[in-house]
A and B are shown apart, each in its own frame.
Chain A
């Protein structure tokens, strides 16, 4: 109840705030206090709704469908936070919450424009209310289940706790340039919008970039298919807004300095946000259900989503078209070899990349309209992006030259020598590794771009660190491209099989099965011994049997220049259970463990209200450890239930039968490391070498740091002007 009421009150607050801003805006004496208070109500009650949902998760209130679907009593506290946004309804609430929080900042920064900025900002978020009203996390189950279905083990991962909020910060921040572009169009004044918007564009580029990279790293680390980017619609739907956001950031650099590219930027600002909504539509409608690894199910939101998408497109593009004659924009630059020209080229390439990915992701829809729906293979993205990458890196490499001043006749200076040297060295390396021509070209242009930007970075480091923002991000992009080509295009892999009797060999290393531990009810841990020259290590591979499927966790061994990626495919354990019967006082061995059956434990026999239970007292000893455990069998109205005993090493003992008169008991043992006695345990796995994969992560970090520096610089310049 509290949840739904909070959402309703917050909606009322939002609506009231919009009305008050508009009404007050028309009056002479402008006290915005009432409108602001209404905004506080909006934000406050959204916070209450989120807090209440979290409370429901903490207190295991499974009568709520959402809690039931994404949590369970044994879910660790930390992951109850991420369960909060484990499903669609929760993500809408989280998104709205983050947008409400960012709104305070928008309010504070908007200055005189608050009367226009705030109501439009709030209205922009209304689409989220639409979604929340149709699908909200406070729906009740008809009965109260005793336990929830649990969170998908793949999502029980640190990166998945922080990834969604960061992406939503990006989405929410990207609505702000949209708002400012509309405000500029309403006021028909375009000279100040860029200054006010740039920090937000930098913030959204930073947050979306960080969110995307975290998601990519998570995929690499947990999914086991060995890659970090699959061109899946879910991934693409946040990549496209990021590319538009980055394009807009470049465009704004030019507009800020020259007053040029004004219409382009206004268009990009509205389009970037439209892309956010379109991505939401793609991933929340059922349209791509058969074309993605993610299960998209039609939430019944299509009409709302399409409606609001249509509204945003027609309204913002139409308004821009209507005003286009009145928008005066300066010409871009006098020279082709100017900074602004290269920035403009980059903007063009980023936009093009966004559009190409957009078309590819929409392929099932486009072909569905024309005839039979068909998806596009990931090769499409790669074939288009290799030449695009070359152009982008060449532009990035040339960009520092537009800043450096060269004296006549001294073109061959140290900088140029360093860049040419780096290109030559990378060409030789590429030829040694027999790279394909286009890959080689892209590698060399990326290395040269990294070098050129690196030189400029160090030259500028002496001054204002804010001025190195662009260089930092550019070096990051170049490294990311180098890492991507080598780790995906030149990855080597071997399929191996090891059994309890024999090992396998690849990449100069011996692989052998050390043991299988049964850690939890549904989790096996495989210890795979890897022997390499003098250095041995154990690769731990997990198999978790969950409702979402068998989750196989890969093991990654990092080296400076490559990763050894060990990904398990299948584990066959014949006769996992060992069945033995014991007489009183008898001792038997299971694996390395000694078991003694003492007696049926009379103390543990309980009679209460028709329920009867029998426990067996066992002494378990191994190594230096020895202790007593009690597997039980209980009689319920519908028959006997075994209550197994769990050992400290993850083994499980069940009572499978007993004869109290003879003092005999039959027991089943699971997870007792009985490899050698029991036939062959077989592990199928794949080992791959991923050269230079670290460049990908290092490049990603530099891109995020670069955009962060840009955010810092743009928000400082904003504050100092006021």
Chain B
């Protein structure tokens, strides 16, 4: 009897959490899209690009970090406003920036940035060039 109840309870909990996990899983999914899709989708998505002219500024009233991203393949550019916190540490050295957010009224509003830096490991491949001059 106890064993049965225990089993039922366990299954019930697993099913409930399976459902919660599943629904928020599909809810919280942020697919990678290109800029064109980002503009039209109206959902939270991820875009990747490089910062145009390596330029960014901070809006003194809202604290938003403003910059533009350029897409690799299409050359398409898009204004981004980041409000997720202070400017990420390695922002200025970034190779590419991944912005997660939503496109609204002409601007991509992001609350999370992933900074893709020229990693040490990638650097390893080009070490030979670095050390040639020495």
Contact = CB atoms under 8 A, between A and B. Distances in A.
Interface of A: 65, 68-70, 87-88, 141-143, 145-146, 149, 154, 223-226, 290-293, 295, 297, 299, 331-336, 341, 344, 348-349, 352, 356, 359-360, 363, 367, 372-377, 379-380, 383-384, 387-388, 391, 495, 497, 547-552, 567-570, 684-686
A551 B81 CA distance: 21
A569 B93 contact: no
A379 B60 contact: no
Contacts of B92: 549-550
A331 B7 CA distance: 12
A126 to B, nearest CB: 24
A549 B24 contact: no
Given A65-B124, A377-B44, A685 B86 contact: yes
Contacts, number: 167
B24 A379 contact: yes
A678 B93 CA distance: 27
Ranked 4 nearest A-B pairs via Cβ: A549-B90, A495-B63, A295-B119, A374-B31
B3 A377 contact: no
Contacts of A143: 131-132, 134
Given A299-B121, A388-B17, A570-B58, A380 B25 contact: yes
Given A356-B21, A495-B62, A551 B32 contact: no
B70 to A, nearest CB: 17
A373 B121 contact: no
A569 B86 contact: yes
A65 B13 CA distance: 52
Contacts of B131: 141-143, 145
Contacts of A552: 86-87, 89
A379 B28 contact: yes
B2 A333 contact: yes
A332 B3 contact: yes
B71 to A, nearest CB: 14
A147 B37 CA distance: 47
Nearest to B112: A377
Nearest to A567: B86
Contacts of B27: 379-380
Given A331-B3, A367-B31, 19 more contacts: A141-B127, A290-B48, A290-B114, A295-B116, A336-B6, A348-B10, A363-B25, A372-B32, A374-B46, A379-B24, A384-B17, A384-B24, A547-B93, A548-B93, A549-B92, A549-B93, A551-B90, A552-B87, A686-B85
A550 B93 contact: yes
Interface in B68-86: 85-86
B5 to A, nearest CB: 7
Contacts of B30: 374-377
A643 B130 CA distance: 23
B99 interface: no
B89 A224 contact: yes
Contacts of A348: 10, 13
Contacts of B87: 552, 569-570, 684
B67 to A, nearest CB: 12
Contacts of A549: 89-94, 115, 117
A363 B14 CA distance: 19
Contacts of A141: 127, 131
Contacts of A375: 29-30, 46
A551 B62 CA distance: 23
A349 B93 CA distance: 42
Q: Counting chain A CB atoms within 10 Å of each CB, which of B10, B63, B89, B119 scores highest? A: B89
A511 B132 CA distance: 49
A510 B8 CA distance: 59
B38 to A, nearest CB: 13
Contacts of A333: 2
Interface string B9-35: 010011001001100110111111000
A543 B119 CA distance: 21
Contacts of A548: 90, 93, 117
Nearest to A147: B134
A293 B115 contact: yes
A582 to B, nearest CB: 35
Contacts of A88: 121
Contact of B58 (A331, A335, A684): A684
Given A363-B29, A550-B92, A352 B116 contact: no
B105 interface: no
Given A146-B134, A363-B29, A384-B20, A551 B60 contact: no
A584 B113 CA distance: 54
B65 to A, nearest CB: 7
A225 B21 contact: no
B122 interface: yes
A331 B65 contact: no
A360 B134 CA distance: 47
Given A224-B86, A548-B93, A374 B29 contact: yes
B91 to A, nearest CB: 7
Contact of A336 (B2, B44, B46, B100): B2
Contacts of B116: 290, 295
A290 B32 contact: yes
A5 to B, nearest CB: 23
Contacts of A290: 32, 48, 98, 114, 116
Given A290-B48, A335-B2, A373-B32, A87 B120 contact: yes
A68 B28 contact: no
Contacts of A332: 2-3, 6
A686 B63 contact: yes
A65 B121 CA distance: 11
A377 B131 CA distance: 41
B72 to A, nearest CB: 12
A686 B93 contact: no
A336 B10 CA distance: 13
B29 to A, nearest CB: 5
Nearest to B14: A352
Nearest to B114: A293
A135 B121 CA distance: 11
B86 to A, nearest CB: 4
A336 B5 CA distance: 9
Nearest to A373: B32
Contacts of A373: 31-32
